[in-house]
Chains A and B, each alone.
Chain A
Amino acid sequence: MENDQYNLKRVFSIVNEEDLGSYTCEFGSKAKIDFVLAAPQIGEVRDKPIVSYVGDFAVITCKMEETKPEPRTWYWYKANGTDKEQIIAAEEPLRYEIKNEERNTKLVVSSLVEADGGLYFCGAVYAISTSMSNVELKVISIHEPLKPFVAIVIEVIVLVAIILLYEKSQSKKNNTAAENGTTEQTNTLTQGESNGPGESSSMRQRKV
């Protein structure tokens, strides 16, 4: 006992994965602390899904921060129901490509099909165990953005048609009025009206 404090120490030998987990230290009924022993966890996790198109490619990355030790290597897995299947790039080089640098890893999935959507796991492999992080990949068809796009194009065409047709009907009205016009004054004023919305008066030309 030193300085009115009890110091308790115990050495554990962590040999394999089973030795990891939750440890508790209890000092009678007075104090209790929990310790969690684990491999370095992947901190930066992307919570939003990565979206890509059918036929395009998608890049999924995982990073281990500078403050944590480097993993030995990285593995990638795809969720298959409740199971995880390891992705071995060598088996399907046209579809998968894994680029590993010490602290980050990239999985490139090419020629996407809808079935490629789902959860992907990257595993940082350490001697003692592997820590996982997951990212969701969503594959959508090209028709998805086309729907709002076409809607907007239709709206634009309708607006332009309305504006041009309204203008034509205005000028037709004024032309018939001009023909039937009794006084010159009415003539000038109606001509002015048809010009008003259309022309900037500084550029007004006398229409003969």
Chain B
Amino acid sequence: MAKLRPKAESQGEGPDGGYGWVLVGALFVSTSLVFGLMRSLGIFFVEFVQYFDESAQAISWISSTGLAAQQFFSPLGAALCNAYDTRWVVMTGGCLAALGLILASQATCLVHLYLTMGVISGLGWGLVFTPMVATVMANFTRRRTLALGLAFSSIGLSSFAFNPLFQLLVELYTWRGALLILGGLSLNIVPCGALIGPQRRSKAPAKVVSESGVSCASFLQRASSYLELPLLFERPYITYTLAISLLNVGYFVPYFHLVAHSRQVGFSEYQAAFVMSAAGATDILGRIASGWFSDLGHFRLIHLLSVWTTLAGVFIMLLPVSSLSGSYAALMVISLLYGFCSGALTSLVFAVVPMIVGVERMMGALGLLQLIESGAGLLGAPLSGLLKDITGDYTASFMVAGGFVVLGTLTMVTLPHYFSRKDPPPPKSLSPEDPDKAAELKQMHSSPSDMNDLTGEVTNNRLPEDTYS
């Protein structure tokens, strides 16, 4: 069996296979049911304000709690996938998300909504998103960024579809019935998880079973290895996480304030809303285009990411400048460019992670990244609001936001091997006891530019076995 292994690998039964695209579809659906759904909850808030007689700010805490819970529980989801089967974690997450919404439909006070729509659904979403992203990324090498870009385009597309759909549901069934039906829709995450198929995590405690009993220390040690806590002590990972957190501070500011800024400069409600929609459309385009372009392999992913983040930061800073002249066309152009760049960088943010920590530790790395960057995201909106209150308009907010984004890029530049032409070799996270596995990992870690060199060799061996992929 051993001598046949290398041949099997070069026959392309590994990454980029046909089934990988099925998983991309599953990620598409589940991402839309997590983030697309979260973005369209605004429809319900008007109803909640009236029914519960509460302020808009109190109601907006519902979605803040949900998003915070999703990000907070991401490392937990990652750790559970390292310990157990990914598919069951995702399926459980789907059930929890649905349960939260179904219980929310019976809410009699605001606190119920925080606990159900916020905590329970947020926990479910946390168990779904990171594991599914990591699974898709593990199934692709050459087309990883394109796969992610296609899947993440679902966020923009689904919020286009969900807004009118939710409006209709609320009109027909009021918010209670609509939430109940949303719970049902969220259950569709479960078949997405089922598509992952059975897995054996390499971190499964096959070795640990021999230990006598479960002691606190051994549990903590295993938990820390599942959560990939040692990553927090590695300079490349910390640098990257810091860079993405800085990016997060400024990234969301236009989403919160662009409409208000447009109105303040003097444009009508309709014009301001149209600017946002247009930016949303180019966002979708940017995700897919960047994914496709990155996988062509002409440049290193980290370099492309730096370009997009710099451009996004610059355009954020240009937003208030463009409206200074009072020209709607200028504002529209800058917003379109901003939308494209911000979409383009989202595809890459996740794809760079395995380049830094290796595919083995990707799951936990993504979880921790989500948790840490969420803290930064929470800072961004209040900070920009504060700046607006102090200075009177949004110029300072956008300037500072753009500044944070560019600062994130500068932080990325300090990554080791940043200026080299090729990606650095993958970090040695496994002991070399399994030479076949090491060879396999080498193939997984190869960047798209490396793969082009191997293509000739791969296709020659692949032809008769094409039917298997």
Contact = CB atoms under 8 A, between A and B. Distances in A.
A binds B: yes
Contacts of A185: 4
B14 interface: yes
Contact of A198 (B5, B15, B199, B201): B199
Please name the 6 residue pairs, one residue from A and one from B, whose CB atoms are nearest each other, closest first.
Answer: A145-B177, A198-B197, A152-B184, A200-B138, A159-B191, A201-B14
A202 B138 contact: yes
Contact of B191 (A140, A163, A197): A163
B198 A198 contact: yes
Nearest to A198: B197
Interface of A: 48, 51-53, 56, 59, 61, 140, 144-146, 148-150, 152-153, 155-156, 159-160, 163-164, 167, 184-185, 187-189, 192-193, 196-205
Main secondary structure of the interface of B (DSSP, over half): helix
B194 A201 contact: no
B351 interface: no
8 contacts: A61-B50, A144-B172, A155-B188, A159-B191, A159-B194, A184-B4, A197-B19, A205-B202
B302 interface: no
Nearest to B170: A51
B83 to A, nearest CB: 13
B139 A205 contact: no
Given A163-B194, A202-B138, A202-B360, A196 B19 contact: yes
- The secondary structure that dominates the A interface is helix
Nearest to B137: A200
Contacts of A155: 188
A189 B135 contact: no
A188 B1 contact: yes
B176 A53 contact: yes
Given A188-B8, A193-B468, A202 B444 contact: yes
B422 interface: no
Interface residues of B, number: 49
A156 B19 contact: no
B255 interface: no
A93 B139 CA distance: 64
Contacts of A205: 200, 202
Contact of A145 (B51, B171, B181): B181
A46 to B, nearest CB: 11
Contacts of B174: 51-53
A145 B180 contact: yes
A175 to B, nearest CB: 14
Contacts of B468: 189, 192-193, 196
A52 B180 CA distance: 14
Contacts of B22: 197
B176 to A, nearest CB: 7
